[in-house]
């Protein structure tokens, strides 16, 4: 049986041990001989590599773990590159969130001004990663989680159109798992119809074993959102940020009941509600640092001090989804996933060059998008406004254009006016001077 070499770009991520475990859980089907971790933060990666080695050794002591800051060492002759870059780390994520909130605007890591700030930091490094892949592993597929995925996908479409890259997001998958739980179904029994942009889309139908359960699900979610019956029994110990997001799905459905909205649409459709629900002094970035990040690095510290391995992470959808996509490519399984792909007529009344999020079959040759029906004017209008914002931001980054960046901010529905957009943009320019291109 063929064995595979996997590189993880952003190897110092807290998600890396979970990805490694997801690979090991599939080791009988998907034989991995080496996992290479690549990160520019050498010390952080060293620590994450320690615990990743322990995770892998519990399943297969023959799998080699390599941690490096050298692109050639990381990528040469690998079969897959799993990309999960967080340019600027959680320090910059906190600024992405808190600077907009200081002006009464949504602060979120992938949506609105925070997402655009993150995007301006990530475009250059992702283009560089595509170039490393072309140089050192021209036959490898990049499976990209790096956020904000819509902006990254648009930049790669423009600048590296021949890159072997699949842009994915685990958020719709997470929502599907909750829908399955609400409907009393198993996760592999559920299938959806979906359209939109990344973090800006709608579920148009939900099937269990081929039978539509949309009406039942709409009725439940209009009252409860995505809060599952089991979760509602113990809301006190659930993740407070996601509870708010899942409840806000009900608010959006009450306004627009035709389709089931992605939870991320809350930042665009009901932004003032989100602002009012959030403590601007303690945002999601703080919660991640104080919990997920702390738990992992506490377990690493314990390992360094005692040699005893404690699992301070979980696999989750993030790990399983990226491995499932890789396996569908490796074995030409033609499995159906939601992917971010160039439209090319799949949604007939959206621009051909839009990077849309829709169902597609994943083959050894890449994605085969499923063609959809034309979408309604309301959704078309919203998507085209968001699409214009994302395209202008990419143009602003590539052309170092302040005016195009401002236009991108002004078009974004998280802002009440172009004047406020300019204020927030100027504050973010100052905060990101070590990362962004100079905008003139």
Question: Residue 434 and residue 212: Cα distance in Å, rounded?
Answer: 50
Q: Of the residues 39, 170, 193, 324, which is catalytic?
A: 170
Sign of the alpha-carbon torsion through 402, 408, 411, 416: negative
Q: Of the residues 264, 267, 268, 379, which is catalytic?
A: 264
Say whether 170 is catalytic.
yes
Distance of CA 199 to the CA centre of its chain: 8
Q: How many CB atoms lie within 10 A of CB 239?
A: 14
Total residues found in the chain within this entry: 440
Maximal CA-CA distance, the chain: 61
Question: Residue 327 and residue 143: Cα distance in Å, rounded?
Answer: 11
Task: Give the DSSP H or E segment for 412.
Answer: none
Question: Residue 139 and residue 337: Cα distance in Å, rounded?
Answer: 22
Question: Residue 354 and residue 157: Cα distance in Å, rounded?
Answer: 9
Coil, helix or strand for 185?
coil
Residue 414, token pair as written in the block: 């998280």
Task: Give the DSSP H or E segment for 84.
Answer: none
Could you tell me which residues come within 8 angstroms of residue 389 by beta carbon, excluding any fewer than 6 positions away?
116, 408, 409, 411, 412
Question: Residue 396 and residue 410: Cα distance in Å, rounded?
Answer: 13
Question: Residue 369 and residue 354: Cα distance in Å, rounded?
Answer: 13
Write out the DSSP string of 203-242: EEEEEETTEE-HHHHHHHHHHHTT--HHHHTTGGGS-HHH
Coil, helix or strand for 276?
helix
Catalytic residue set: 170, 264
């Amino acid at each position: 049986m063929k064995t595979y070499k996997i590189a993880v770009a952003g190897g110092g991520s807290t998600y890396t041990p979970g990805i490694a475990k997801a690979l090991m859980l599939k080791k009988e089907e998907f034989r991995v001989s080496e996992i290479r971790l690549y990160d520019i933060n050498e010390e952080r990666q060293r620590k994450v590599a320690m615990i990743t080695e322990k995770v892998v050794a519990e399943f297969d002591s023959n799998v080699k773990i390599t941690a490096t800051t050298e692109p050639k060492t990381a990528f040469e002759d690998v079969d897959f590159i799993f990309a999960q870059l967080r340019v600027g780390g959680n320090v910059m994520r906190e600024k992405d969130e808190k600077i907009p909130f200081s002006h009464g605007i949504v602060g979120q890591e992938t949506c609105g001004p925070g997402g655009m700030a993150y995007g301006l930091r990530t475009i250059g490094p992702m283009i560089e990663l595509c170039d490393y892949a072309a140089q050192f592993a021209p036959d490898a597929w990049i499976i990209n989680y790096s956020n904000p995925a819509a902006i990254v996908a648009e930049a790669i479409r423009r600048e590296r159109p021949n890159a072997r890259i699949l842009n994915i997001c685990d958020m719709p998958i997470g929502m599907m798992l909750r829908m399955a739980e609400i409907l009393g179904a198993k996760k592999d029994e559920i299938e959806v119809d979906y359209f939109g942009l990344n973090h800006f889309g709608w579920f148009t139908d939900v099937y269990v074993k081929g039978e539509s359960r949309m009406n039942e699900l709409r009725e439940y979610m209009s009252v409860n959102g995505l809060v599952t019956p089991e979760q509602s029994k113990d809301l006190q110990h659930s993740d407070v940020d996601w509870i708010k997001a899942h409840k806000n799905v009900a608010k959006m459905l009450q306004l627009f009941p035709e389709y089931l909205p992605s939870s991320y649409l809350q930042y665009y459709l009901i932004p003032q509600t989100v602002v009012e629900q959030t403590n601007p002094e303690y945002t999601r970035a703080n919660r991640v640092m104080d919990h997920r990040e702390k738990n992992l690095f506490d377990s690493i510290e314990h390992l360094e001090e005692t040699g005893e391995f404690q699992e301070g992470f979980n696999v989750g959808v993030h790990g399983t989804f990226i491995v499932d996509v890789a396996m569908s490519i490796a074995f030409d399984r033609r499995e159906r996933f939601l992917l971010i792909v160039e439209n090319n007529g799949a949604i007939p009344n959206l621009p051909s060059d839009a990077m849309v999020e829709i169902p597609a079959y994943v083959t050894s040759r890449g994605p085969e998008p499923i063609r959809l029906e034309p979408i309604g004017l309301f959704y078309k209008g919203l998507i085209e406004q968001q699409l214009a914002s994302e395209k202008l931001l990419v143009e602003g980054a590539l052309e170092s254009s302040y005016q195009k960046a401002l236009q991108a901010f002004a078009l974004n529905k998280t802002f009440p006016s172009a004047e406020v957009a300019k204020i927030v943009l100027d504050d973010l320019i100052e905060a990101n001077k070590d990362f962004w291109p100079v905008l003139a």
